[in-house]
A = this chain, B = another copy of it.
Amino acid sequence: MSSDNLSTKNRILQAALDLLETSHGKGVRMSDIAKRAGISRQAVYLHYENRAALLIAATKYLDDLKDSNARLLASRTASTGMQRLDAYIEAWGEYIPEIYGVAKALMAMSDTDEAAYAAWDDRMQAMREGCAAAIEALHRDNMLSPTFSSEHATDILWTQLSVRNWEQLTQQCGWTQAQYIAAQKKLAHTCFVKA
């Protein structure tokens, strides 16, 4: 409860985030995190039950640091549906590289750890809400293309904006971040905006 306690807890989270960012989420062990936080491996467990809990806490900590909610909600203030769609694609798209390391680690853990899966799924459902809101805004403007239902359009946009897709396009295909954002906007217009 003391501020020392808080400080150690945060030092652990910061250590985890540093390591996950530089290693792209791969091969970061509890002992590595402890070493970087300047404490013993066992002491980490005084603050976090297990690896999954630590990773989950790290993503929440990162959200606060980067003020992600504010950034994503900002897109909701756009006046037209199209502006709103663009703003959301940009806000989320610029956010992905900042969470990529932790996200990768959390996704990898999701395969084996129930809690990690739930935590990641929760975030992705929140992200889906943003997609649904953007599609809904288009619909209200009577600008939603009849090609797909609102429901299907949301599913497609949600999938299109996944972290895995960002990874593939930027890491494997060699797109720059700017190309990624521009292409996703163009793609969404082509698919969802009435001609």
CA distance A164 to B111 in the complex (A): 13
Number of copies of this chain in the oligomer? 2
**Quick check: which of A5-13, A30-38, A59-67, A182-190 contacts chain B, the rest being far away?**
A182-190
> Nearest chain B CB to A19's CB is how many angstroms away?
15
Q: Produce 1/0 per residue, A142-165, CB < 8 A to B.
A: 000101100010011011101011
> Nearest chain B CB to A113's CB is how many angstroms away?
11
Tally A residues with Cβ within 8 Å of B. Answer: 27
> Nearest chain B CB to A162's CB is how many angstroms away?
7
Given contacts A145-B190, A152-B183, 17 further A-B contacts (CB under 8 A): A26-B112, A27-B112, A108-B111, A147-B186, A147-B190, A148-B186, A155-B169, A158-B168, A159-B168, A160-B160, A162-B164, A162-B168, A164-B164, A165-B165, A187-B191, A190-B190, A195-B195
Binding site for B on A (CB under 8 A): 26-27, 108, 111-112, 145, 147-148, 152, 155-156, 158-160, 162, 164-165, 168-169, 173, 175, 183, 186-187, 190-191, 195
